Amino acid sequence: MAANLEMVGFEYPASDPLQVTVSDIQNFCSAIGDRVPAFAKTVSAPPTFAISLIMQAMTYAMNDPRLNLDYARVVHADQKFEHSRSIVAGDVLTVQLTVADIKNKMGNDFVTFVSKIFDAKNNLVTTSSSLLVARTEA
């Protein structure tokens, strides 16, 4: 069953505020094989750290019956980030997720999400584009 094309342009409510901690950044860095000094009090996250925040917000979309996206068949095809500034420990951030595009090609759904991450003062920190492909059933 194909993803719902009527969802193109749909904007999900902003996520609950997410507090970024040194531990969050250290755990992410450990997972990607990067090192962050344990003693650091203010730590900048690597550019790809934003995906950990975005994925929390995308959970709602993945489980949204209106979107009709079969997450069990999804592969991650592309990811882009545009940063206005670095994410640092102590930031309190929210994520705004929009279904930017849905295309069906040869039975596969190509769904593009645009995520905007804002700080506590509502300043744009990061814009990201994610392309997910829900493979057709064989």
Q: What is the pTM of this model?
A: 0.89
| Integer Cα distance of 34 and 56 in angstroms | 22
Write out pLDDT tens, residues 17-72. 999 998 898 888 888 888 766 555 558 899 999 999 999 888 888 889 999 888 88
Ranges of H-type helices in the chain: 22-32, 50-62
Kindly list the distances between the CA atom of residue 32 and the CA atoms of 24, 28, 35, 46, 70, in Å, as whole numbers in the listed order: 13, 6, 9, 10, 27
- Asked whether the beta carbons of 86 and 119 are under 8 A apart, the reply is no
Assigned CATH topology for domain 5-134: Thiol Ester Dehydrase; Chain A (3.10.129)
Task: For residue 83, give both structure tokens.
Answer: 């940063």
